[in-house]
Amino acid sequence: MAEQGFVVSRETAWCPGCGNFGIVRALAKALSELGLKPQEVLFVSGIGQAGKLPHYISGNVLNTLHGRTLPTATGAKLANSDLTVIAVGGDGDGYAEGGNHFLHAIRRNVDITYIVHDNQVFGLTKGQASPRSDRGMVTGTTPLGAYNEPFNPLATAITLNAGFVARSFAGDQEHLARVLKAAIQHKGFALVDVLQPCVTFNRINTYQFYRSRVYDLDQEAGYDRSDRQAAWARSWEWGERIPIGIFYQVERPTLTDHFGDIVDVPLVKQELARGELVEELLHEFRVG
């Protein structure tokens, strides 16, 4: 399957029927429709089944450590702001191991898109509780049911005034591609939490479970995505009805903006050493 250069691989290490297939296809569609070329895109991923996604789509790839996707992507974007940087990971990778980085990447408002494959379970390690597991979910590490308060990534992101906070569903590629396009176009940190059925280890949050519950906020008459309080309230809606779409969107200066003149040309395209500047600095330490 080819989407104008963003070739999606047929060979993957994913389970048949995995929600990840829908995500990679929607992503290829979004990137193609935006007119990007694979060499202009850098995918940064961590470890987990979601972390393998960049290997199954055309583009530059840095497949890094578990949980460290966001700092790595931040460094890459700061060094070469010409690259479209897309960070990809699962809910274990991003909300457990990488939880601290998640908070600070939002605070920095680095201009990247962060796609979280949210299947509420650890897949690659074969079925343990994730920060997103609902209370009571029986897993390999929670035989009596998960007992910790589930992490709410959308509420957290809105609380931190993330510029773009969205949720989509791997079973609705049209919706997902549309949200991803908006996320990639957004100037600043864009979170797209994707409800992604794990067909092997999560028998509760299935395709059917979501199909019968999700509704599109973007179609809601009168929903104002610049209203932070309303977005925050919607982010807690989880039950018979589960909202998807863009919850919250505001523009604020990005991390690159802050560095101003330093990055008038991307760092990687600048001359490396500035001998005359170092001479000047050395002069400050010169006595006599």
Partner 1 sequence: MQTLNIKIGGQAGQGLVSVGTILLRAATQEGWHLFAHQDYESRIRGGHNFFQIRLADQPVASWEDDVDILVALDETTVTQELGEVKPDGVVIYDPDVLGDAAKELVTKENCIGLPFARMAEELGQPRIMANAVAAGAVWALLSEEITVLHETLALMFADKGEAVVAGNQQVASHGFERVRGLLGARPRPAKPAKSRPHLVLRGNDALPLGALAAGVKFMSAYPMTPSTGVTEFIASYGREAKVIMEQAEDEIAAINMAIGASFTGVRAMTATSGGGFALMTEALSLAGSAEIPIVVINAMRPGPSTGLPTRTEQGDLRFAVAMSFGDFPRAVLAPGDVEEAFYLMAHAFNLAEEYQMPVVVLSDQHLADSYTTVPPFDLSKIEIRRGKLAAPEEAGPAYLRHRFTEDGISPRLYPGFGTGLVVSAGDEHDEAGHLIEDAETRRKMMEKRMAKQRLVEDNALDPVLCGAEDPEIMLIGFGSTKGAIAEAVAVLNSRGCRAQGVHLPQVFPLPRRLGELLQKPAQKFIVESNYSGQLEELIASRFAWKPTGSIRRYDGRPMNAKYILDRLPGGECRG
Chain residues that interact with partner 1, rule: CB under 8 A? 13, 38-40, 42, 44, 47, 52, 54-55, 58-65, 68, 70-80, 82-83, 100-101, 103-104, 108, 255, 259, 261-263, 267-268, 270, 272-275, 277-282, 285-288
CB of 125 to partner 1, least distance (A): 15
Q: Quick one: 124 or 230, whose CB is closer to partner 1?
A: 124
Q: Quick one: 104 or 203, whose CB is closer to partner 1?
A: 104
CB of 6 to partner 1, least distance (A): 11
Strand partners, 60: 42
Cα separation, 179 vs 228, in Å, equals 19
CB of 271 to partner 1, least distance (A): 8
> How many Cα atoms sit within 13 Å of 69 on the Cβ side?
38
Q: Quick one: 16 or 260, whose CB is closer to partner 1?
A: 260
Q: Are 255 and 73 in contact (CB under 8 A)?
A: no
CB of 61 to partner 1, least distance (A): 4
CA distance to 41, 88, 174, per residue, from 25 (Å): 16, 14, 10
Q: Which residue, 110, 107, 104, 48, is CA-closest to 73?
A: 110
CB of 76 to partner 1, least distance (A): 4
Give me Rg for the CA atoms of the chain: 20
Q: Quick one: 52 or 167, whose CB is closer to partner 1?
A: 52
CB of 45 to partner 1, least distance (A): 9
Q: Quick one: 44 or 179, whose CB is closer to partner 1?
A: 44
Q: Quick one: 38 or 150, whose CB is closer to partner 1?
A: 38
Residue 103's Cβ-count burial label (10 Å; 0-12, 13-18, 19+) is: middle
Residue count of the chain: 288
Q: Count CB atoms within 10 A of the CB of residue 219.
A: 9
